[in-house]
Amino acid sequence: MKLSRAEILRALKDWNQAWARHDLEGVLALMHADVLFENWTGGKAVGLEALRKAWQPWFAQGDFRFIEEEMFVDEVDQKVLFRWHMEWPCPEKAFAGKLERRHGVDVIHFKDGKIINKLTFSKTTVEIDGKRCALHY
């Protein structure tokens, strides 16, 4: 099953709204059972249940938000490049309580109308108080 460009855009709009609501099950609804997720640290989860387990603690916090910057859709190959920034309370002790802004890109592949690959790439610096800061994780 291939999605049209309009169907991909609609699915991703609904998906982004689920992220905004911190609705883990809503986000996972667009994921393929065999999904591969790789994050900016190199960590990965394979399969829907592994992804649910990996994301549950993060979603329980509910203190993040993603803002779409731009999206490129390849209807023929069922791929999306999604450029975003995320805002959340900085987890580093030196910046506790400050808002962190992180810029990144998701490379998303669809299979059978669902996301089969979500590969996340993020800058190695973040913005705090409008200034660039290196990550120390």
Domain residue ranges in the chain: 5-134
Q: Phi/psi at 105 (nearest 5 deg)?
A: -140, 135
What are all long-range contacts of 54-61, with beta carbons under 8 Å and residues at least 24 apart?
55/24, 55/27, 55/28, 56/24, 59/22, 59/23, 59/24, 59/27
- How far does Cα 57 stand from its chain's mean position? 15
Burial track 6-41 (b if 16+ CB lie within 10 A, e otherwise): eebeebbeebbebbeebebeebbebbbeebbbbebe
Q: What would the pLDDT profile of 34-61 be if each residue is shown by its tens digit? A: 999 999 888 999 999 999 999 999 899 8
**Side-chain half-sphere of 16: how many Cα atoms within 13 Å?**
18
The whole-model pTM stands at 0.88
% of the chain surpassing 90 pLDDT: 72
CATH code at 5-134: 3.10.450.50
